[in-house]
Structure 1
Amino acid sequence: MIWDALALVGGLAITAATVFDVFATVVVPGRVSGPINVSRLLRTYMFGFWRGTLRVCARRPNPRMGSVFGAMLLLMLLIVWVALTLLGLSLIAWALRDSFTPPIGRFGESAFEIGSAMMTLGLSGHGATGWARALVVVAGLCGLQIVTVTLSFIVQIQTALRARDALVLKLESRAGSPPSGVVLLAVTREMDAHDGLPKLFDDWEGWAAMLLYTHGAHPVLSYFRSDKDGLDWLTALGAVLDAASVTIAVLDDVPGGNARLMHDGGVRTVHRLCHAFRLDPRQVTELSDEDVDAAAAQLEEAGYAVRRGCGAELRHWRRAYRAELAALVEHFGVKEPAWLGGQDVRAASH
């Protein structure tokens, strides 16, 4: 009787915790505290194994994390949810084994009974009476709901990826690959889109807010990479933040209001994501006066009026996000945004 009671209580606890985790992960915006967090546990343990394997294969200290990891994470999430629910309900069935006809003799039979009910296979060789009837119905509902909710989760992932990557892919023609904030500003001026800078920063401010909402609520989205090696959502965010910092500190003939708003939103997104993945800020090398002067000369050549001697102010604005951005870049194994960039994008614009 004691073992039956323990199996009943344990099964109820495992099943309730798993069902709560499914709805907290998929349905509820943001993360609701619960007894378990399967998604975070899988990310923690699978990431270390996956990164170690890539290091051996690629022979690089920080190899690029491809989208395969995100897909594997989603698959394992579904498998673990189903396995935990099956375990919990099987324990309950074992505790109620005398309510089945004929009585269940082994734990494997109870697992098969519940698995058949969850998958609606109809292969059960046992009849159910009393509480066992309710258990079989609940098992069918749990199996159906987990699969349905997971499929809707995949649709959410695809929708969020389309919304995220559409603006990122447009950045290549303006800022190169890897993107550069200085090149973005220069090409925008040379293409007579100078008046479009406020709208550009408005678009990226909204994009950063969307990123904070979707990737904060579903961190697995962060592991889905762009098809292009040098153009990633994180690299793009860093490049546009650089463009906003340069606009605020260096450009003398461009209103900085929209750039400040984008800078504030982007910094908040970088900090929140760094905290969500439990990363410590990294030590970064700040821009030298020569780097600042080279960027000012490139922007002046493009037609902007620039301020001289603004290196300290520019470093101040970049310091707000560079350490956290470097931690995220190292974690995901993507390229950092370029500072000056190449000449291929600017040459193509003429």
Structure 2
Amino acid sequence: MSTTVEYALRLLAGAAGIWLVITTVSGAIRSFVLPRSESVRLNAFVFGGVRALFNFGARRANNYARRDRILAHYAPVALVALPIGWLALVGIGYTGIYWALGVDGFEKSYELSGSSLLTLGTTSEGGLIINVFSYSEATLGLLLLTLLISYLPTIYQAFSRREIVVAQVELRAGIPVSAAGLLVWLGHDHDFLNDDAQWLDWEKWLVEIDESHTSLPVLAFFRSPQGGRSWVMTAGFILDAANLLFSALDVPSSRQAELTFKAGVLA
């Protein structure tokens, strides 16, 4: 390989490495820090790949309970796989950067990248510029892992608040849960205007789901602790109950029930 060609390849590898590192860090920030829904290709690739594996196993289950137990592990596994993908891409990106900076060979560049990323310190190269990039890679590796770990309590707190209402609706509407059963419970005193406090609680729950599942989309894939429960179905039961109240019962209109229905439609 001529010197000119090798120089051009090193420049190309360095530019591609910088782009890959910036893109990966940007995706991590948009995934957990930015409080709005953003499409991140790496996330779609990781979650799609993990989902394909779990679907493969679920299709071979002989009943719903078995399929539900298999798919219940999907979101946690995908969430753990996500930072592994981040670190792998950052490591590949820095491999190209080190090679562009003059490290001898891709294998040596990869060893230096892995040593820096995982803060092992088993491989080092002299030179101020290479050391600066090595330290920056170690910092990014720690930050990416810390980012996910710091958001795990937030994710599980939002999950817990969501599932509390799911369980409460099941207690009120009976098993199997239905919109009609929910209305029977609401009208136990024959006065639906006394239920505004309950409709207000459900409105807050629907608004919180809209906010939390938009900023942390992974929450949508966490299944309820019990196989017969579903936050999606619970939201549907609440909206169906409100719709039946408006259309099928000859009772005074509840402004709070209307707001709850609107919150569910817009969520």
Aligned mate of 2:59, from 51, 55, 61: 55
Within 5 A, what are the aligned runs for 1:1-350?
Answer: 1-32=7-38, 36-58=40-62, 63-64=67-68, 66-97=71-102, 104-124=103-123, 126-190=124-188, 196-269=194-267
Report sequence identity in percent: 26
3-state DSSP of counterpart to 1:90:
helix
Contact 2:179 2:238 in 1 (8 A): yes
Distance 1:177 1:95 in 2: 64
Distance 1:266 1:170 in 2: 17
Contact 2:193 2:254 in 1 (8 A): no
Give the gaps of 5 or more residues in structure 1. Answer: 98-103, 270-350
* Offset of residue 188 of structure 1: 3.0
Distance 1:4 1:76 in 2: 30
Give TM-score scaled by structure 1 length.
0.69
Change (3 A) 1:178 1:223: farther
* Offset of residue 223 of structure 1: 1.1
Contact 1:178 1:235 in 2 (8 A): no
Distance 1:68 1:229 in 2: 12
Contact 1:160 1:214 in 2 (8 A): yes
Change (3 A) 1:8 1:188: same
Instruction: Give the total of aligned pairs.
Output: 259
Give me the CA root mean square deviation: 2.2
Distance 2:42 2:155 in 1: 17
Give the gaps of 5 or more residues in structure 2. Answer: 1-6
Distance 2:226 2:37 in 1: 31
Q: Which amino acid aligns with 2:96?
A: L
**CA offsets, 1:274-298, max 9 Å, x none?**
xxxxxxxxxxxxxxxxxxxxxxxxx
Distance 2:99 2:189 in 1: 72
**CA offsets, 1:56-105, max 9 Å, x none?**
22367xx54732000011011111011001110111011113xxxxxx43
Distance 2:133 2:148 in 1: 22
**CA offsets, 1:299-340, max 9 Å, x none?**
xxxxxxxxxxxxxxxxxxxxxxxxxxxxxxxxxxxxxxxxxx
Change (3 A) 1:193 1:163: farther
Q: Which amino acid aligns with 2:171?
A: S
Contact 1:179 1:231 in 2 (8 A): no
3-state DSSP of counterpart to 1:127:
coil
Give TM-score scaled by structure 2 length.
0.89
Distance 2:191 2:163 in 1: 22
Q: Which amino acid aligns with 2:154?
A: Q
Change (3 A) 1:193 1:74: farther
Distance 1:42 1:177 in 2: 36
3-state DSSP of counterpart to 1:57:
coil
Contact 1:22 1:146 in 2 (8 A): yes
Distance 2:239 2:60 in 1: 33
Q: Which amino acid aligns with 2:187?
A: R
